[in-house]
Amino acid sequence: MKILNIELAGFLSYSTPQFVDFTGANVFCISGPNGAGKSSILDGIVYALYGKIPRYAGRRVNTEDDIINHNSDRLSLSLKFKVGERVFLVRRELVRGKSQQANIFELIDEKAQPLGAKRNRDVNAFIENLLGMDYETFTRTVILPQNQIDRFLKPASSEALSERRQVLQRLLGLDIYKEIKKLANQKCRDISRELQMISDRLEGELKNYTREFVRDLEKKLKEKEIILKTSEEERQSLSSKIEELKSAIALFESHISTLEMYKDITARLNMLKGKKEEADRLEVLYQLQREAIPLSNLNREYNEKKNRLDSLKREELKQEDERERLYRELEKEKKSIEECQRYIDYSNKLLGFVPLGEEIKELEREKKELRDKEEELNLREKELASTEDEISRLSRYVESSESRLEELNDKMKSESEKWDRIKGILDDVRELRTRERDFNELLEKNKKLSNSKISLERELASIVKDIENLSYELSGMETELEKYHLERIKMSLSVGDICPVCGNVIESLPVEPVELQAVERLNSSYQEKKKVRENLSQRYAEINAKLERNNRDIEEIDISLKELEGDIKEIRAKVSEILEPYSVDILDEKLIESKIERERRELEVLINNLEKERDVSLAKINDRKEYYTKESSAIKNLRAQLDRDKEKIREKEKLLSERVSQTEISWEDFVKRDFLKESQEIKNRYQELLDSSNSNISKYRAYIEKINARLVEISDETSSLEKNLADLAGDIESMRRELEIKCQVASSSLEELSELKIDKILIDKIRRDFEELSVKSNLFEKDISLQRENLIRIGLDPDAPQGLRLLKEEYSAKMNYLRELEERITALSKEIGSLDTQLKNAKEQFEISESLLNKKKGLEKQFNYYKIIDDALSENKFPEFLIREVMENIINRASLELNFLTQGRYSFSLASDDSADIMVKDNWYPERSRKTYSLSGGESFLASIALAIAIAEEIRGKRSLDCLFIDEGFGSLDDTGLDSIVSALAELENSGIMIGVITHNRELASRFPYRIEVEKEERGSRIKEGGW
């Protein structure tokens, strides 16, 4: 894969669109001062391909605050690259507040053909598949980070192998093996804990749940179930006998109950016979009441018609009164019509004044318009004067703005000089920060050593005290041991022996025996305490030596602190005068730079705002002057027209005054009154009243005719009702005489019949109850006969009541035995249920135990597997093996590249000792090898190029290396080194590999035949024109 070109806009330090073409040469450099935006070009290549950049590794990326230039709201990147013979174009865009957009095209005959990948992850997957490299591999092989190659070539410390191992681990991604070992170790611990838990359960709660325990429970359950089955059969037999006894008792009790009910029904039947006779008599009277209903209806009809006749007579009187009232209202409406006609005539007279009134009102409107125009003209003259004042004020403001701009520009120039001075001493600020950090670290270390000294002194004092106490105790023990020793000597002597102390003959010996066990215990305690004292003495010597070392370290640190304090005071004095305005944090260079940038922006904003305000004021002055010229001319013309209009209105007013004097109405009335409206209102109002009166007259006449017609109807209906009432009176009298005769037959009268209240429901109930009891009596006689037959058939005497008592006693005895039997069955059922529950639980626990045993076997296999991995990766054996193999491959490849670049003079080799240092062979002097730190600037550059190519090829494996970017900081180079670089670059130019070197070294950049120069401007980075 080769990079052809890239276009950046709104990305990192690039605010405006910048185009970089990489097709000019195979070997080139990207040069520019620190912070100019050189590395941002490489970030743009990576971001265009993978949507993220190396400098934010470990952070959340693709946010606008991270990558969009602060002067832009949108970034866009277009990268053109070549894979084999195919050319591709990838584009990415990001707008603040929105998600990233990506597209990839293939260029066929310079035409972009979409490849169907529209989403970010689709584009990323396509590129990874196309290049055969993911993001991590690309950033470790195509773009080598700053200082990594130099650290590999010239390690900072003496431990070269450790330094190079760190570089290779980062570039090759070998830290994964640490994670694998950590994971395997964690898995071993987890599985071990789980195995322990399984063993605890198997040896604890599941220990007794064996196959024999389950079989014993099954045997007990079967025995109990056989006993339960026998008891159930016995209960069923006993229940059948009890049911037979229960049926016999029920039959006997039913017979006795039936006899009692038969006696009760017979008594009730005798009682109802008297009530039935009275009910029959009331039934006859009830029928007479029904025959009297037509008479009541005739009386009701007579009364209704009589009431109607009275109502018609009252209505006739009311209708006559209403007719008289309508005649009076008719006369009133006729008088109202005459008055309305007079007002209508007056309205017609007012219509004649309408034309004159309109002319007068038109004249008043013209006068008002003339006054309004005059007022408007006066206002415009005032505004014109105000405009003249505004022009003068703006002119003065423009003059002051010009003066203020000159002052601000002078201030910007002076401040820029001051800012340049401040930036020039930032290196001193960084040095001061480093010295102060070292000072604080030493101060902290001194504090720890002082605390350690106090602790050691306290421990020494404690040891000395313990040694003194032990010495005192040991002295007492020695005295006691001497006494015991003398006693033992005495015990070895006999009467008549020579005393070894005084030389006299021993005549007698003490009778008190010596306790040998006490002596042995004392001697043992003595030896132990003596050993403790020796250990304390040894500990005292160790702590004392440590305390001396501690004191020496404190003295050395005090000397270093004094030296650092002097250096800090010297540097601070140097920079304090210039950095006095930024005294918030004198060591914070970023804060200083941000404050400088903020002051610069504030001053630029003031100048820009003042220039804008000045330009706006100048534009306003021109507008105001143009407006003043036009407005003054317009006012002059309007004033002349106004005078002419005033003269015309005075002549018109004189003519109209003469016409008004000929009427009886004043000029003010003509102005105020609306004769047309007033005439119309009078005419409308009284015309409406006139129409209403005519309508009312028509209504009254219609009402009178209606009343006359109603009076005729009332007269006809009254005559008909009087005739009907006479006929109804005869019919009522005839029916009354007939009913009185029937009442006499029933021993009653018509008046009693009308007052008598007969309950027909009660009569029907009494007759119905009598009939029902008669039927029940017959049924009970049949039941009693049938029950006697049944009792005799089963051997019982229905007339012997003691038979029922004997049956109940036998039933009670059998029921008691049944309850006992059921209690035994219940107890057995509970016991069987308990055994069944135990059996189920035992089976479940047995299954759990078997499952845990199987799981234990599987976990033990897993544990052995992870243990093998953990042991294999312990102490970094495998990663170290890989690093050694890779390092040998890299040195071999780099040796070939270096030999090629130096035209056969130099090559690499590893040191023969265990230091694993990189040696440089000089074929001009084959008898000796050189250390890498002895290389000159030019030689270091060529060695770094060779190592970079070798490391990239090793990481890529079998994939060919087409392009390589080295973001490396090289030191200063002499002419010889630069000349060697020129010849090496010529060799690389013909190798077919595209190599880009990023450097801020101007001497090195000048020796590249092709270079891309980056400049830093106020609004962002810029690719210098003609950079190639």
Q: How far apart are CA 910 and CA 928, in angstroms?
A: 13
The whole-number average pLDDT for the span 898-915 is 75
The CA dihedral of 206, 207, 208, 209, to the nearest 10 degrees, is 40
Q: How far apart are CA 582 and CA 598, in angstroms?
A: 12
Decide if pLDDT at 860 tops 80: yes
Kindly report the pTM of this predicted structure.
Answer: 0.37
Which tokens belong to 719?
């005559």
The whole-number average pLDDT for the span 416-442 is 75
If pLDDT is split at 50, 70 and 90, which confidence band does 61 have? very low
Question: Would you state the pLDDT for residue 63?
Answer: 59
Domain spanning 2-173+902-1023: CATH 3.40.50.300? yes
Which tens digits make up the pLDDT trace of 633-643?
888 888 888 88
DSSP letter assigned to residue 22: -
The whole-number average pLDDT for the span 904-918 is 73
CB count within 10 Å of CB 434 equals 12
- Nearest alpha carbon to residue 429 among 208, 582, 223, 279: 582
Contact 709, 296 (CB under 8 A): no
Which tens digits make up the pLDDT trace of 11-53?
888 888 989 888 877 788 888 888 888 888 888 998 999 888 8
Decide if pLDDT at 184 tops 60: yes
* Cβ neighbours for 699, distance < 8 A, ≥ 6 positions apart: none
Q: Residue 821, by phi and psi: left (phi above 0), alpha (psi -120 to 50) or beta?
A: alpha
Which tens digits make up the pLDDT trace of 110-133?
888 888 887 888 888 898 888 877
The whole-number average pLDDT for the span 294-304 is 77
Contact 333, 697 (CB under 8 A): yes
If pLDDT is split at 50, 70 and 90, which confidence band does 984 have? low
Question: Would you state the pLDDT for residue 90?
Answer: 94
If pLDDT is split at 50, 70 and 90, which confidence band does 589 have? low
Give 3-state DSSP helix, strand, coil % of the chain, rounded to 5.
75, 10, 15
Burial bucket for residue 960 (CB in 10 Å: 0-12, 13-18, 19+) = exposed
The whole-number average pLDDT for the span 417-434 is 72
What's the 3-state SS for 399-459?
Answer: HHHHHHHHHHHHHHHHHHHHHHHHHHCHHHHHHHHHHHHHHHHHHHHHHHHHHHHHHHHHH
Lowest mean pLDDT among 20-34, 521-535, 605-619, 675-689: 675-689
Residue that the structure tokens 């950095």 belong to: 579
Burial bucket for residue 208 (CB in 10 Å: 0-12, 13-18, 19+) = exposed
Which tokens belong to 925?
């002097």
Residues of the chain with pLDDT > 70: what percent? Answer: 82
If pLDDT is split at 50, 70 and 90, which confidence band does 677 have? confident
| Phi (first) and psi of residue 795, to 5 degrees | 90, 20
Question: Would you state the pLDDT for residue 415?
Answer: 79
- Nearest alpha carbon to residue 991 among 897, 922, 915: 897
Lowest mean pLDDT among 305-319, 439-453, 705-719, 922-936: 922-936
Separation of CA 577 from chain center: 52
What's the 3-state SS for 888-935?
Answer: HHHHHHHHHHHHHHCCCCEEEEECCCCCCCEEEEECCCCCCEEEHHHC
Residue that the structure tokens 């007259």 belong to: 697
More confident call, 18 vs 514: 18
CB count within 10 Å of CB 465 equals 11
Q: What angle do CA 432, 434, 435 make, to 5 degrees?
A: 65
Separation of CA 142 from chain center: 41
If pLDDT is split at 50, 70 and 90, which confidence band does 986 have? low
CB burial string 483-502: b at 16+ within 10 A, e below: ebeebeeeeeeeeeeeeeee
Question: Would you state the pLDDT for residue 78?
Answer: 94
Question: Would you state the pLDDT for residue 850?
Answer: 81
Average pLDDT, the chain: 78
Q: How far apart are CA 107 and CA 87, in angstroms?
A: 5
Long-range contacts: 460-465, Cβ < 8 Å, 24+?
460/540, 460/543, 460/544, 460/547, 463/536, 463/539, 463/540, 463/543, 464/540
Q: Based on C-alpha coordinates, what's the Rg of the chain?
A: 67
Question: Would you state the pLDDT for residue 585?
Answer: 47
* Cβ neighbours for 1019, distance < 8 A, ≥ 6 positions apart: 15, 16, 71
Decide if pLDDT at 99 tops 90: no
The whole-number average pLDDT for the span 955-973 is 62
The whole-number average pLDDT for the span 703-722 is 84
Question: Would you state the pLDDT for residue 584?
Answer: 45
Decide if pLDDT at 443 tops 80: yes
The whole-number average pLDDT for the span 440-444 is 86
Question: Would you state the pLDDT for residue 76?
Answer: 92
Question: Would you state the pLDDT for residue 684?
Answer: 81
H-helix or E-strand spanning residue 87: strand 86-95
Question: Would you state the pLDDT for residue 143?
Answer: 74
Question: Would you state the pLDDT for residue 709?
Answer: 86
Question: Would you state the pLDDT for residue 819?
Answer: 85
Question: Would you state the pLDDT for residue 727?
Answer: 79
The whole-number average pLDDT for the span 166-175 is 64
Which tens digits make up the pLDDT trace of 347-406?
777 777 777 777 777 888 888 888 888 888 888 888 888 888 888 888 888 888 888 888
> Which range, 246-255, 686-695, 785-794, is most confident?
686-695
DSSP 234-251: HHHHHHHHHHHHHHHHHH
Decide if pLDDT at 512 tops 70: no
Decide if pLDDT at 985 tops 50: yes
Contact 17, 8 (CB under 8 A): yes
CA distances 295 to 67, 87, 128, 754, Å, are 117, 126, 119, 11
If pLDDT is split at 50, 70 and 90, which confidence band does 58 have? very low
More confident call, 774 vs 984: 774
Contact 963, 143 (CB under 8 A): no
Q: Give the N- to C-terminal CA distance of the chain in Å, as an integer.
A: 22
If pLDDT is split at 50, 70 and 90, which confidence band does 912 have? low
